[in-house]
A = this chain, B = another copy of it.
Amino acid sequence: MNQSSFVSLLTDFGTKDYFVGAMKGALLSVNPQVQIIDITHEIPPHDIYAGAFQLLAAYRSFPAKTVHVAVVDPGVGSTRRPVLVASRDYFFVGPDNGLFSYVCEREEQVRVFHLTNEKYFRSTVSATFHGRDLFAPVAGAVSSGVAPEELGPEITDYIRLEPLAVRAVGAGQLEAAVIHVDRFGNCITSITRDDLTVEMLAKGARLVIRGREITSFRKFFAEDGTGASELFAVWGSAGFLEIAAFKASAARLLGIERGEPVLIISE
């Protein structure tokens, strides 16, 4: 048995409707012992990339064996498959549309199962609300210790998003992108410590975004915080380089949104 005490939820359902409450009720109807924790329900509607990033940033903070349920699901009711991802340390339940790509790249011993065993679904499954009728009950079952093999056949052709990565675009130039803008206006880029090393920084590597050069690299937001509108880079809590401004929105100062290209110039 492989029981879990915790189920996390990440959706694009928002919080003004009954959707999240109904999912939780359905989950507790199957496993009344589990504790449910919200990651966020404010993923922009149908934005699989945003969901995949937020899940990536949050999931490792949870206790081992947590069941992470993620539902950003524009294809609900169609032929897109419902899946369970089981890794060495965690479970993930949701639609097979790339939502779990980023975590699959990082987890070990990943196995993916197509959820076909209707015994673990709600007695009647609506065509529009699999969060309540399929994913929540299955998460209840998984957290109760039901084995993945019991839920459906293993598959290997699950959907993968293009990996978060930088690419060479010229001599000494790498192109990355802003992959998320957070509440504070910090711009999280796809750059990791492997892409922009201590050695590169020592030799004067710099960033260019929307025509602006970023040459200030800080340890934390408030360091040397004299000019509020000065842009700087800082290693963020999700493991990526962020472009920030002290007590101000870097996104607004730059006039940018997610997807904006960022150049690393290291020659």
- Give residues in A with beta carbon < 8 Å to B: 5-6, 8, 10, 13-26, 28-29, 32, 35-42, 45-46, 54-55, 57-59, 61-63, 66, 74-78, 80, 126-129, 132-133, 182-184, 219-223, 225, 234-238, 242, 247
Is B74 within 8 A of A16, CB to CB?
no
Is B78 within 8 A of A223, CB to CB?
yes
Q: Looking at the complex, which one of B45, B62, B76 makes contact with A222 (CB distance below 8 Å)?
A: B76
A18 with B128, Cβ < 8 A, contacts A28-B63, A63-B25, A220-B77 known: no
Interface-centre pick from A15, A21, A25 (highest chain B CB count, 10 A): A21
Is A58 within 8 A of B22, CB to CB?
yes
Is B17 within 8 A of A183, CB to CB?
yes
A220 with B183, Cβ < 8 A, contacts A40-B15, A40-B21, A132-B61 known: no
Q: Looking at the complex, which one of B10, B28, B41, B61 makes contact with A37 (CB distance below 8 Å)?
A: B28
Q: Which residues on the B side are within 8 Å of A15 (C-beta)?
A: 15, 38, 40-42
Q: Which residues on the B side are within 8 Å of A220 (C-beta)?
A: 76-78, 127-128
Q: Which residues on the B side are within 8 Å of A238 (C-beta)?
A: 18
Is A222 within 8 A of B74, CB to CB?
yes
Q: For the complex, give the distance between the alpha carbons of A80 and B221 in Å.
A: 13
* Shortest Cβ-Cβ A-B pairs, 6 listed: A77-B220, A21-B39, A129-B237, A25-B61, A25-B62, A18-B58
Closest CB in chain B relative to A220 CB, distance in Å? 2
Other than A21-B61, A25-B61, give 10 A-B pairs with Cβ distance below 8 A.
A15-B40, A16-B40, A16-B183, A17-B182, A19-B183, A77-B221, A77-B222, A78-B220, A128-B236, A128-B242
Is B16 within 8 A of A77, CB to CB?
no
Q: Which residues on the B side are within 8 Å of A23 (C-beta)?
A: 61
A74 with B25, Cβ < 8 A, contacts A18-B58, A237-B126, A247-B46 known: no
Q: Which residues on the B side are within 8 Å of A57 (C-beta)?
A: 17-18, 22
Is A36 within 8 A of B37, CB to CB?
yes
Q: Which residues on the B side are within 8 Å of A22 (C-beta)?
A: 39, 57-58, 61, 237
Is B234 within 8 A of A21, CB to CB?
no
Q: Which residues on the B side are within 8 Å of A14 (C-beta)?
A: 183
Q: For the complex, give the distance between the alpha carbons of A28 and B264 in Å.
A: 38
Q: Which residue of B lies closest to A60 (CB)?
A: B25
Q: For the complex, give the distance between the alpha carbons of A62 and B29 in Å.
A: 6
Q: Which residues on the B side are within 8 Å of A5 (C-beta)?
A: 32
Q: Can you give 8 A-B contacts (C-beta < 8 A)?
A: A10-B21, A17-B57, A29-B61, A45-B183, A127-B220, A128-B220, A128-B221, A128-B242
